[in-house]
Every structure is written in structure tokens, then in C-alpha cells.
Structure 1
Amino acid sequence: MSDWGWPGLIAHRCGGALAPENTLAGLGIAARLGCVAVEFDAMLSADGVPLLIHDETLDRTAGVPGCVAAMPAAALLATDVGGVFHPAFRGETIPRLIDALARCRALGLAANLEIKPATGVEIETGRVVGELLASMAPTQRPVVLLSSFSADALRIAAGCVPDISRAFLVEAFDDTAIDTALALGCQSLNLSRQGLSAAHVAAVKKAGLRCLVYTVNQPDEARRLAAWGVDGVFSDRPDLLLPVSACQNPA
């Protein structure tokens, strides 16, 4: 557990591998497990509504063709993403970002909101997400950590809500990632577990940044990363990592 007020375990894509990803059902499962933080992805529909989805197409999560950025929100909100995961979740649809934030608030979950823009709409996605957060009173929204692989999206969103903590996401460590995170005023640099070393973590911490790592599903690996100084991990198997996590409610 880090000392910066953010939990050491974050359920990946709402409920990890235990629920259809990026759904309200996943949030409920994460809360019932005892998680206090989740991560999810926000992308815009064709008419500019921020929704929870990871891919630019519906093929993987819904089993139907469709380009998210070319579809209106009404069609996306009616898209079943539960049935492909398991028949028990049939009828679980893509939610709006604002509804996911409200559900997190109601469940007492902190939210790592990853801005996941479709190609070519990085700035617009950052603006819409930032303006949505800015329109919510602090008492209405959960504790939020904004993150993105897109420096442009993160910069624009942060301009709307400078009070919200943020993290820069990268697939592999290098010095330029640290420089970008610092230039964006980030509190954390979020790194993939692939190719990560203790020296990389030490460099991040030396720069004054926190370090979160994705996607960690084995308790032994979580313990090793904690020993390196990693502040927290994203996991598809929060049920396995909760026993070794020192999760507490975020400040």
C-alpha cells in the first residue's frame, strides 16, 4: 500500500476477469469482493457521449461488427456485452461514463479513469471527459485518477480538472516517459509488467513519481513488485491478490 492515498490493488476494467469488462456489473462484483478501486476505459460515441469500452470496435466484447466512433450513443448503450462473456450476464450493456462514476460513488469505489480515445480524436476525447468531470460536484464523483496513453488527451482533460490526480500510461519504460509524465503534472507513471525491472521502478520513484503496474494476476509477482517499491497494481484477478494486498480506502 502506498502512502499517497491510493489503494495498492485496482480491479482492471471494472471487475477484471470475473465479469464482462467495463460494465456496471463488474463494478458490483469488484465491490462485493472487497476491492476499493477499479479501472475502466472511456471512449466517445459518434455523437460525443463518453462510454465505457476498451476497443475501437465491438467485435471482441460484443461479438458483433461495429466501429465505436462511428456509432451513436443510443446504439452503443443498447449493445449487449454480457452475453459474449457468459450467458449469466446476457443483457449487460455498455454504460455511460457518468453512470459508471455515479455507481462507483455509490459503492465507495475509487476510479482510475483511463481516457481511451479512438484514433484521431485524442483532444476531443480528453476535452469531453474533462468537462464531464468538471461538471460534477466533488461530492458527486468518486475519488478519480485520470490516466491515458495519449499525452494530448490527458493534457486537455487535466486543464478542465487540475485538482484531479493523473497518471501517464506507457507500454515500456524509458526516460522520455518520465519526462512526459512530469511535464503533464502527473503523480504517477503507469507501466506494463512486461520487461519491467527494479531499476526502472527506482528511476520512476527517484523522479518523484508513483509507479502503478499493469496487468498483474499472480500473488508472487505482486509481492515482488511491492518489494521493488511499486505503489499498486492493476489486476484481472483481484480475488487472488486481495489476500496479499494492504488495500485501504483512499483519502
Structure 2
Amino acid sequence: MRRGQAMIESSMPRWIAHRGGGSAAPENTLAAFKTGLKAGFTAFECDVKLSLDGVLWLLHDDTLDRTTDARGPAAPWRWENLQLVDAGSWHSAAFRGEPPASLDQVLDFAAQHGVWLNLEIKPSPGQDVRTGEAVARRVAQWMAQHPSAPRPLLSSFSLAALQAARKTLRGLRADAPLAYLVQTYEDGALEQAVALGAEGLHTDWRQVTPAVVDRVHARGLKLRVYTVNDADQARALLAAGVDGLFTDRLDLPARL
């Protein structure tokens, strides 16, 4: 890692805009990232999966129903057709016609604005390894092209996807950090993260106590928590020593 990059990452923002723009914009769209940036955020989380034809793009769910005007599983869709989907109207009329974002578009955004990305590998069913490999290859290529930019962090609930990403990164001699994402904190999950060579552990904020923070830090990992939308909760978590908070409330950092 270069010195400039190390300085950037040592002062990584604690506040991370959930799915690009939290509740202020349609999730996992470029409009969301632009909204988050306008609100002052310099760190962003989003969900990445594969289209049928191998394009990496942003969507949280396995289906298109909740956040687009299309219906059914996302996996069978080709990217050329996904670009015609309306991923904004479900949020509000102001975002009508906003298309889903590709990972390449988000990486271009990060390069342009010098922001940090947490790319959650969100495979469609049965595509854990393939998606983990694809995200790792693209991120390795992007890091080589932008050596001074903050390195994206790859996270996932899927241990198989993270293991595939780690293997791919090692094969390419690329050094992107990983984080294991869990719904319930357990010491076993922490040990899995350590065995993976992860940089961090991400968990539901309700799982966190000062003792949990101490255990994670004692193993040399960062602890980030989701999804924190209350000022009192955020204040307590920061006082406990968590390293990052994912939020849907773009106004929350200013309130604290």
C-alpha cells in the first residue's frame, strides 16, 4: 500500500451511507450516491450481483419486485434489459425513470470524487462463488488503474463468496480488504473472519456491547454496525468504540 493510500484509510469515515443514499433516494442507484455525496458523505455501501450476461450491477434483493417496476427473480435478466427498468419511482416521483446502477458506474463515481466504497457481494441464489470471483477481479483491475484511491472493501453474508473473492485477489496479487457480514454476533463468526484474513466484522448494531467491541479489536479487526438511524443509539455505539456506522439517515452525523 502506498503512503498516501495508507493515510486516507487510517482516517476512514465512521459514517457510511447505506445503499448509496439511505432513505433519501432510491437505493443502489447513481442518484442515491449523488444524494449521499451532496449530504456530505464520503463513504458509501451498496449491494453487487451478476446479471445473466455477467455484468456486475447493484440490487439488494433476489427479486426486482420491491425496488423496480419489474417483477420476478433478478438472475435471469440481461444487463441491456435491466437498464430499461425503472428503479426510482418506488421511492418518489422525483426519481421516476432512474435506472439501476452498474458497478462500473459506481467505481467511476468513486474515482471522480475520491470516496470510499463498501461493496457488499450479494449473490443471486447459487451464484456465491461466481459473484465473489467477478467482484474481486473487477476491483483488482480498478485498484491497479487508481492506485491512490481508497481501496474498496468487499463484504458479504456469504462466506463462500468471500472465500472465492480472497482466492481471486491472491491469484491476482491484489490487496483489497474483506469484511465478514453477520446478522448475529458470535465468537465463532469472529474466528471465521480472522481465518478469512478479513479486515473487519460487520453486524447488526443490536448485537454490540463494549465487550464485543473489545473482543473484535483484540483480534485485530474493525467493527462496523448496521443500520443505525437513531441519534442516541449512534452516540452510544461511538462511545463504545465501533469503527463505522451504516445509516439511512443522511442528517444523522450533523445531529451528533
**Normalising by the residue count of structure 1, what TM-score does the alignment of the two structures yield?**
0.91
Tell me the CA shift for residue 107 of structure 1: 2.2
Counterpart in 2 of 1:143? 151
| 1:206-243 deviations in Å (ceiling 9; x for gaps) | 21111000000112111100111101100000222244
Structure 2 residue 208 is matched with structure 1 residue 196? yes
Amino acid at match of 1:207: R
Amino acid at match of 1:41: D
Give the 5 Å matches for 1:38-57.
38-57=44-63
Distance 1:158 1:85, change over 3 A: same
Amino acid at match of 2:211: A
Counterpart in 2 of 1:108? 114
Give distance in 1, aligned partners of 2:106 and 2:213. Answer: 31
Structure 2 residue 82 is matched with structure 1 residue 70? no
The answer on whether the counterparts of 1:13 and 1:39 sit within 8 Å (CA) in structure 2 is yes
Give distance in 1, aligned partners of 2:251 and 2:151. Answer: 22
Counterpart in 2 of 1:249? none
Long gaps (5+) in structure 1: 245-251
Tell me the CA shift for residue 45 of structure 1: 0.9
Structure 2 residue 197 is matched with structure 1 residue 185? yes
Tell me the CA shift for residue 194 of structure 1: 2.6
Query: Which residue of the other structure, out of 114, 132, 152, is the alignment partner of 2:160?
Result: 152
Structure 2 residue 93 is matched with structure 1 residue 87? yes
The answer on whether the counterparts of 2:110 and 2:116 sit within 8 Å (CA) in structure 1 is yes
The answer on whether the counterparts of 1:10 and 1:238 sit within 8 Å (CA) in structure 2 is no
Give distance in 1, aligned partners of 2:113 and 2:35. Answer: 10
Give distance in 1, aligned partners of 2:211 and 2:14. Answer: 20
Give distance in 2, aligned partners of 1:66 and 1:112. Answer: 27
Give distance in 1, aligned partners of 2:48 and 2:120. Answer: 6
Counterpart in 1 of 2:251? 239
The answer on whether the counterparts of 2:70 and 2:85 sit within 8 Å (CA) in structure 1 is no
Counterpart in 1 of 2:4? none
Which structure has more relative contact order (CA 8 Å, sep 6+)? It is 1
| 1:13-57 deviations in Å (ceiling 9; x for gaps) | 000000000010011111111111000000111112110000010
Q: How many residues align?
A: 243
Counterpart in 2 of 1:248? none
Q: CA RMSD in A?
A: 1.7
Give distance in 2, aligned partners of 1:113 and 1:76. Answer: 20
Moved more, 26-35 or 189-198: 189-198
Give distance in 1, aligned partners of 2:99 and 2:197. Answer: 35
Moved more, 7-16 or 231-240: 231-240
Give distance in 2, aligned partners of 1:47 and 1:194. Answer: 38
Moved more, 215-224 or 151-160: 151-160
Counterpart in 2 of 1:227? 239
Tell me the CA shift for residue 142 of structure 1: 5.0
**Normalising by the residue count of structure 2, what TM-score does the alignment of the two structures yield?**
0.90
Give distance in 2, aligned partners of 1:84 and 1:74. Answer: 21
Report the identity percentage.
42
Amino acid at match of 1:155: Q
